[in-house]
């Protein structure tokens, strides 16, 4: 958890008590191209967008709490964490008008689990990582919990893959997040 980020967001009018009401919006450069998210991260809460500086994932891990078995839902304690990442993924696909294929989502989530502070050629990765960094700035999460959540997202996208080029994960999971 990062008390400075919590204070900055609250000062900007962002209610941090419910991470399920937050997401990382897509930002574009002057040419209309999607800007990858760096250290300065936009956070949307309703009509309010605040920019905060977030630490790397590895600097935000807290404690050594072990995650539950994520092979079978429900896991209500972790729903806000999953929701923040998936709402950001869904919003990215909506705003770019491009639903990533299941295999790409699976690979991005696996990369998030293995190299959370790394980079990826797909700009969506920077948004997924920013969503995780935001959640870790708001709540205490251990490295084991973080890795288990990212691995569960990887498995979910992988399980939805029907064929090369399928977008079942977006259609079945992420569209529900958007309420579409």
What pLDDT is stored for residue 180 in this prediction?
47
14 closest CA partner among 87, 23, 139, 127: 23
What is the average pLDDT across 31-47?
A: 94
| pLDDT reading at 178 higher than 70 | no
Q: What is the pLDDT of residues 4-24, one digit of tens each?
A: 999 999 999 999 999 989 989
Burial 18-36 (b: 16+ CB within 10 A, else e): ebebbbbebbeeeeeebeb
Q: Which residues face 45 on adjacent strands? A: 22, 48
For the stretch 119-165, pLDDT in tens is 999 999 999 999 999 999 999 999 999 999 999 999 988 888 777 88
What average pLDDT score do residues 103-116 get? 95
* Average pLDDT of every residue of the chain: 91
* pLDDT at res. 121: 95
* C-alpha separations of 171 from 5, 102, 143, 157, 165 in Å: 33, 10, 30, 11, 13
pLDDT digits (tens, 9 = 90+) for 49-90: 999 999 999 999 999 999 998 887 768 899 999 999 999 999
């Amino acid at each position: 958890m990062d008390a400075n980020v919590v204070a900055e967001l609250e000062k900007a009018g962002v209610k941090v008590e419910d991470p399920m009401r937050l997401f990382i919006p897509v930002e574009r450069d002057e040419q209309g191209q999607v800007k990858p998210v760096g250290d300065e991260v936009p956070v949307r809460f309703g009509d309010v967008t605040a920019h905060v500086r977030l630490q790397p994932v590895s600097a935000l891990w807290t404690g050594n709490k072990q995650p539950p078995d994520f092979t079978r839902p429900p896991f209500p304690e972790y729903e806000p964490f999953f929701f923040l990442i998936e709402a950001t993924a869904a919003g990215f696909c909506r705003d770019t008008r491009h639903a990533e294929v299941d295999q790409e989502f699976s690979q991005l989530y696996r990369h998030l689990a293995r190299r959370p502070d790394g980079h990826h050629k797909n700009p969506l990765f920077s948004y997924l990582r920013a969503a995780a960094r935001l959640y870790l700035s708001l709540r205490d999460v251990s490295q084991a919990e973080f890795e288990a959540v990212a691995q569960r997202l990887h498995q979910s996208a992988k399980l939805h893959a029907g064929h090369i080029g399928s977008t079942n994960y977006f259609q079945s999971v992420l569209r529900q997040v958007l309420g579409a």
